[in-house]
Amino acid sequence: MVRNFVLVDDLDQSPGAETIYFTVNGQDYEIDLSEENVQRFNSALQEFVDAARRVARQPASGRGRQSRRQSSGGNSGRDNVAEIRQWAQANGYDVSGRGRIKKEVLAAYDEAHQ
């Protein structure tokens, strides 16, 4: 049995859309748009794209960002996030299992491990 899927425009619900991927302020987005709305999207951004600088993509692991943070902040390297979370929980800090660790927790960890 063959199944066919049709993308539907997220704006006007018209069929035959394509998925557009974009990033704003470091947040990745995707939206399904019809050909007409793709043209609207591109037209709306064209002025900004024309004035912008192209940036080479960093490796998927995000190591480029991490190394910049390390060189500018002098933190503990942050390759040991799981260790930091475990230490923070054992020392009474409220940390989630995922996401960013608060600066105060990182500072306390760095202080304790100097």
pLDDT at 76: 43
Nearest to 90 by CA among 60, 57, 112: 112
From the first residue on, what is the mean pLDDT of each consecutive set of 10 residues in the chain (114 residues)?
87 91 90 93 93 81 50 54 87 84 88 84
pLDDT at 62: 54
Query: Phi, psi (5° rounding) for residue 8?
Result: -115, 135
Domains of the chain, start order:
1-55 (3.30.60.230), 74-112 (no CATH)
pLDDT at 11: 94
DSSP state of 53: P
pTM exceeding the 0.75 threshold for the entire prediction? no
